Chain A
Amino acid sequence: MTDLLFYIFAGITLISALIMVISPNVVNGAMCMIISFVGTAALFVLLEAYFLAVLQVLVYAGAVMVLFLFIIMLLDADKDASRLLKDKMTLAGSIAGFALLVVLVCAAFVGGQHLPEPALLPVMENPTGEGPGIPFTTSAKSFGYSLFTKYMLPFQLTGFLLLAAMIGVIVVSKKHEEPTGEKK
């Protein structure tokens, strides 16, 4: 049953991502991108990373894509969308590169003989936080435990990065002032 779900969600993710890339209409592409993100969240659920699945839907499919759609509407970016297939050299080159990468990926991972195929490890329901490493758990509690012990410094740096991004957005999107104006 979960195998069938894996194939369904992988198919949805890949096909909607491909439609996003080749769709001449940017708004349709953004909608397919949302479907692709939700499909990835479903794959996260199949991998029993429930917290990340929720985060994926909230942050990517929610906040990020709403921001994208807002900017697409604001800039009216799809008014000359019919020029996608005009440049034959770019088309041929990019499709050749895509085909090479797909062949490489398929040669590396199809067949199951190239990477070792580890069995699924048992998932701890309620971590105690003891032991050297942090074992894979399904509870969001282990995120909190890891973020405040092993990953304390990256966590603080990420918070600082968000602050810097916020200030940067305010500075970048301010109205362009006259260069002859007063110096700050």
Chain B
Amino acid sequence: MTVGLNAFILVAGLLFAIGLLGVILRKNTLVLYMSLELMLNAVNLALVAFSRYNGSMDGNLFVFFIITVAAAEVAIGLAIIVALFRLRQTVMVDQLTALSR
């Protein structure tokens, strides 16, 4: 394979940028949360690429832990979103402005 490390890191960086665009552009909490997952995923891709090109297993183990932590984080976060919806009947962040008044 002639595709080098830089190409994989470029894809990971662009994926991270797209996730950041989603976080600052969207108003829906669920889409925001999916964009956060996308950024975590971009970091995973970069870690696996570095691990492969360094010939070390450590990056793969980090990705393993990141996937586990992300699963736990998604469970907690979605429970919080459901609780928020139960309280406020909305998941749009521009309507959740109780602290800014």
Contact = CB atoms under 8 A, between A and B. Distances in A.
A50 B65 CA distance: 16
B96 interface: no
Given A68-B30, A161-B72, A13 B15 contact: yes
Nearest to A142: B57
A141 B78 CA distance: 33
Contacts of B25: 21-22, 84, 90-91, 94-95
**Chain B interface category by residue count:** 35 or more
Interface residues of A, number: 90
Interface of B: 1-11, 13-22, 24-31, 33-35, 37-38, 41, 44-45, 48-49, 51-58, 60-61, 63-65, 67-76, 78-83, 85-87, 91-92, 94
B64 A143 contact: yes
Interface string A8-35: 0010011001101110001001100100
Interface of A: 2-3, 6, 10, 13-14, 17-18, 20-22, 26, 29-30, 33, 36-37, 40, 43-44, 46-49, 51-52, 55-56, 59-60, 63-64, 67-68, 71-72, 74-75, 77-78, 80-81, 83-84, 87, 90-91, 93-95, 97-98, 101-102, 105-106, 108-112, 114-115, 117-118, 120-121, 133-137, 142-143, 146-147, 150-151, 154, 158, 161-162, 164-166, 168-169, 172-173, 176
